[in-house]
Amino acid sequence: MTAIGTPQAGNNLDPWYHHYAERAAALRASEVRALFAVASRPEVVSLAGGMPYVAALPQDLVMNALENVMRKQGPVALQYGSGQGVPLFREQILEVMALEGIRANADDVVVTTGSQHALELVSKLFLDPGDVVISEGPSYVTAMVIFKSYQADVDHVPMDDQGMIPEALREHIARLKAAGRTIKFLYTIPSFHNPAGVTLSWARRLEILEIARENQILVLEDNPYGLLYFDQKAPDAMRSVERDGVIYLGTFSKTLAPGFRVGWALAPHAIREKLVLANEAAVLSPSSFSQLVISEYLATADWKGQINTFRGVYRERKNAMLSALAEYLPELTWTNPNGGFYVWLNLPETLDSKAMLPRAVKELVAYTPGTAFFADGQGRQNIRLSFCYPTPEHIRLGIRRLATVVRDELELLDTFAGTGSLSPAHDGRRFGAPPPDIN
């Protein structure tokens, strides 16, 4: 029993509330993860989560790799390993990165437990409270969760249909420097961006790298989708032309399967050393088992052909989504990605995607509100739609249900406030486009 006047240890149901480190206050459940419980209900068409369609991966490819590893290297696979990763596997990762123009040394590759783990390690090494990370606006939701967990601020640079706008980047850097802020790195997803779906043009990649060099800003290039193009290959990675100023993050979660939880960082030599130490401090060593299974897969399977199969699956589903949008919501605008998993939808300015979500779930369709992808409250007139997991038939059904929700919301607004309109919002940071030609 607590005596009257004695300070309580916590202000909620957690008796250890006041014992946490300050940075723990920045930990929040992402809006994407919070949706998974609802979206997993079979009657709900989920256009929310970016889950790869792993059913397109033939089971025998993985089973053969598993059996070969356990038969030939079982004791090694089940043992602790190097904090940097299996040497042969790191050599094979070089072959994967070569498809995007990267020439590197296996010594500078650090294997991690998914690329998100690499992102967390980089943040641990570089971010102090009050530092600034520059990123596109919008940006990957969990990256912002990580940056905030290290008490850094995220400064969003506007984008258009060619990616981050270099002139705006210069303006943001100048403003931050004038305010005495410390910019630690620029975080970018240049190819088939999450959530916007757009791709940074080659000319802009070079210009942004030059801006970063001029201002001594490290570039963190996150590239989970780069090989999942549809009709035209994305430009080569930024790391292909800049060795010393870029940390490149890759993953097998999108081109193989996320269940293995294997990614990597390719870093300048001095940073590589610290990444290995941070990796060992966090997990001791990445999974030897997962590395050796993927290594066997890369050595024995037609992994490039399998990536091409994934491209075909996702191309078909993207076309199904754009066709449904053009039929059911032709007044709105959206991006037309040439790869990856996502379409970015612009709503009428009177609607709020976050407030509308519970009503959408009631209509048995889920999406991710645009607010999840901004650190500053923007994105209320935007929705991220994922086409990677549902079948084309379910995508069409989900868009039809979404259209019903949008029109019902506008009808209510028109009835009570006279503001219902299907004209989408535009402010230069959102990616308006006419209904796409998908023929």
CA–CA separation, 224 and 98 (whole Å) = 15
For residue 392, what is the domain's CATH number? Answer: 3.90.1150.10
Same domain? For 106 and 132 the reply is yes
Is residue 16 situated within a structural domain? no
Same domain? For 329 and 270 the reply is no
Last residue of a domain, one of 301, 334, 363: 301
Same domain? For 140 and 165 the reply is yes
Mean pLDDT, the chain, as a whole number? 90
Q: What is the pTM of this model?
A: 0.90
∠ CA 333-397-36, rounded to 5°: 90
DSSP string, 206-268: HHHHHHHHHTT-EEEEE-SSTT-BSSSPPPPPGGGT-SSSEEEEEESTTTT-GGG--EEEE--
For residue 97, what is the domain's CATH number? Answer: 3.40.640.10
What is the count of structural domains for the chain?
2
Q: What is the pLDDT of residue 434?
A: 38
Last residue of a domain, one of 252, 272, 301: 301
Confidence of residue 308 (pLDDT cuts 50, 70, 90): very high
Percent with pLDDT over 90 in the chain = 82
CA–CA separation, 168 and 123 (whole Å) = 24
Same domain? For 335 and 391 the reply is yes
Same domain? For 163 and 208 the reply is yes
Q: Which two tokens stand for residue 426?
A: 């535009």
Task: Please say if the pLDDT value at position 345 is more than 60.
Answer: yes
Same domain? For 34 and 85 the reply is no
Same domain? For 311 and 180 the reply is no
Is residue 172 situated within a structural domain? yes
* Residues of the domain holding 121: 61-301
Last residue of a domain, one of 269, 301, 333: 301
Is residue 406 situated within a structural domain? yes
Q: What is the mean pLDDT of residues 205-217?
A: 98
| Backbone phi and psi for residue 219, each to the nearest 5 degrees, phi listed first | -105, 130
Same domain? For 214 and 353 the reply is no
Same domain? For 311 and 217 the reply is no
Same domain? For 283 and 394 the reply is no
